Amino acid sequence: MADNGTATTGTTALNREVQQSLDNPPTDYRELVDWVRGIAELAQPDHIHWADGSEAEWTRLTDLMVEAGTLVRLSDEKLPNSFAAFSDPEDVARVEERTFICTKTEKGAGPTNNWEDPTAMKETLTKRFNGAMRGRTMYVIPFVMGSLDAQKPQYGVEITDSPYVVCSMRIMATIGTPVLERMSRDKAEFVECVHSLGAPLQPGEQDVPWPCNPAKYIVQFPEDRAIWSFGSGYGGNALLGKKCYALRIASAIAHDEGWLAEHMLILKITDPQGESHYIAGAFPSACGKTNFAMLEPTIEGWKAEMVGDDIAWIRFGKDHTPRVVNPEAGLFGVAPGTGWSTNPNAMRAIERGNTIFTNVALTDDGGVWWEGMTDDIPEHLTDWKGNDWTPQSGRPAAHPNSRFCTPIKQVEILAPEYDDPEGVPLSAIIFGGRRKTTVPLVSESFGWEHGVFQGATLSSETTAAAKGAVGVVRRDPMAMLPFIGYNANDYLEHWLNTGARVGEENMPRIYYVNWFRRTPEGGFAWPGFGENSRVVKWIVERLKGTAEGHETPVGVVPGKEDLDLTGLDISDADLEAALRVDKDEWLNELPGIDEWFARLGDVPEVILEQRAGLEDRLRNS
């Protein structure tokens, strides 16, 4: 743990209650307590509470939030122990333009991140956090990402003034007493995570249901392994174990230690012979990871189970086998588009309760609804902004980035080995984005370096998962653009080096998919969702060497006859539109790739060679 330069700047003495609490902490881990004290001196909370992670604590905090108007309790019959939260309309998604990677040099953060000098940023944050928790309770949440029984458990401690964050973190990670005990026993290193809504209360001031601050800072200090987040209470901005730690900080740790921390789902697929494979998939936010992770195969005899739906840590053992773990304990899934027809597994998990919904609509009988949940549209709802809503309202009832936060153990098709501290062996990696044109349903890379090139140029039309325009083609390397905690060029180099070190023959094979290609009429060419199992089957058979495909300039692509289309109602024209590799479309793609590489500036030579190879193949085919 490095000193963040803020711990000694406390200006005012602590109130007696906080002082006493810090003098009698629930741990003998001195460095931890000193760090907590430093933050308390700076932020000046009225109370302090060490989260134990218990059921009783959850009940107390959710009761408190219901009273404060932050949460609405949902019908116990429909959704037991579940709640709906409604955020400030200005605090609804990750704020990429306010996300900073503070490395010693600007080059360390690279061309794709916002960089600030760490010393200057610490000064800014010290000012922002000064007194930021006045009138509030400071919660201390010890947590671990991944298993507490891992060889080296990845600990963190989040300090926050948001009870919504405490309850959400309890769903998303292992938190509380068992973690604190193990951490304290081993005097283990932990990632320092400091979060404040930035909305102190004056004595007697009435609180609002969703306090936050118009000025937002989501700041990573990868070299210090520290995170400071200010002003937002939502999702990835505030649940610091998730994107900030398990991706941004972990990617920097992974770079140093020789593994990969990736924005990937993990799927277990078992064929009719009972043989299982594990496949990871990197799709940008709101491009189908959670849906794909909960796939219900439509082909006879194939079984899919879920290991993870958002984050994958891939390590390489002594035998060079890639092994992957899902470091999370919950789902923080996009609600709209998740429905009984598209993702029944998610719906069943949610129905078991213990869920916090954010920015969905409320039904009149104490349930929730969002666009795409059911085919029938309710006659009347309360929309996410609290207004009356009818199908005639002409606006969405749920925010497009509304989410459900549900314990992963409620997923019926969760693979029993999902929390194996050693992880599961990884056979294939799939890259995919939302592209209306150009990118075929599936292609297999020619090898590791070509696959890394495919990942490096992965592109997608933007969605509502981040603030900004929707529908613009954006390059998103390995679906990690907003999450690489260091220089993107070094990140690509790290992928190449890892392949070279571990040996191509040991690495997972790489595939590139696109469920979102359109027909000339504008509809989706491929039905997607459960039908994607047909693509998975082709991938598994390729791994086993039993499926055919034809070489195209962009990779090996199945023909119609190579896919199992039994029982699928799809026209030849649609299938053709889904699978087609069009030379002109791809030649048109090159300037976009070149523009992207120009922005990166320092692209590894091997990737540039792959770019040249693609053009050669296109021109000579």
Name the site residues for Mn ion (rule: CB under 5 A). 285, 289-290, 310, 333
Stretch touching ligand GTP by CB under 6 A, among 23-31, 288-296, 543-551, 602-610: 288-296
Q: For the chain, count helices (H), then strands (E).
A: 17, 32
**Parallel/antiparallel/unpaired status of strands 356-358 and 368-369:** unpaired
Q: Which of 95, 179, 287, 481 binds ligand GTP (CB under 6 A)?
A: 287
Consult the annotation and say whether 446 binds a ligand.
no
Counted residue by residue, the chain has a size of 621
CA triple 199-202-207, angle to 5 deg: 55
Rounded CA-CA distance 95/188 in Å is: 31
Least separation in angstroms between CB 337 and ligand GTP: 3
Residue-by-residue DSSP string for 544-603:
HT----EEETTEEE--GGGS--TT----HHHHHHHH---HHHHHHHHHHHHHHHHHH-S-
Least separation in angstroms between CB 278 and Mn ion: 18
The nearer residue to Mn ion, 333 or 423, going by C-beta atoms, is 333
Least separation in angstroms between CB 207 and ligand GTP: 29
Consult the annotation and say whether 544 binds a ligand.
no
Q: Which residue has the tokens 């998939």?
A: 281
The nearer residue to ligand GTP, 57 or 262, going by C-beta atoms, is 262
Q: Which of 99, 174, 342, 445 binds ligand GTP (CB under 6 A)?
A: 342
Instruction: Count residues binding ligand GTP (CB under 6 A).
Output: 21
Consult the annotation and say whether 308 binds a ligand.
no
CB 16 within 8 A of CB 48: no
Consult the annotation and say whether 453 binds a ligand.
no
Is residue 298 a contact point for ligand GTP (CB under 6 A)? no
- Of 102, 212, 244, 287, the catalytic one is 287
Consult the annotation and say whether 285 binds a ligand.
yes
Handedness of CA 498, 155, 164, 413 (dihedral sign): positive
Rounded CA-CA distance 502/320 in Å is: 6
Is residue 346 a contact point for ligand GTP (CB under 6 A)? no
Which residues in 377-436 contact ligand GTP (CB under 6 A)?
none
Least separation in angstroms between CB 402 and ligand GTP: 11
Q: What are phi and psi of 55, to 5 degrees?
A: -60, -40
The nearer residue to ligand GTP, 337 or 367, going by C-beta atoms, is 337
Consult the annotation and say whether 243 binds a ligand.
yes
Which residues in 492-521 contact ligand GTP (CB under 6 A)?
515-516
H/E/C letters for each residue in 361-401? EEECCCCEECCCCCCCCCCCEECCCCCEECHHHCCCCCCCC
Rounded CA-CA distance 350/410 in Å is: 8
As given in the structure block, the two tokens for residue 270 are 């078992």
Which residues in 319-338 contact ligand GTP (CB under 6 A)?
333-334, 336-337
Bridge partners of 240, per DSSP, are: none
Rounded CA-CA distance 358/85 in Å is: 5
The nearer residue to ligand GTP, 176 or 455, going by C-beta atoms, is 455
Active site residue 212: no
Nearest position to ligand GTP, beta carbon: 528
Closest C-alpha to 150, from 108, 97, 107, 186: 186
Q: Which of 409, 473, 524, 580 binds ligand GTP (CB under 6 A)?
A: 524
Q: Which of 83, 100, 259, 283 binds ligand GTP (CB under 6 A)?
A: 283
Binding site for Mn(2+): residue ranges? 243, 263, 310
Contact footprint for ligand GTP (CB under 6 A): 283, 285-291, 310, 333-334, 336-337, 342, 465, 515-516, 524, 528-529, 532
Active site residues: 287
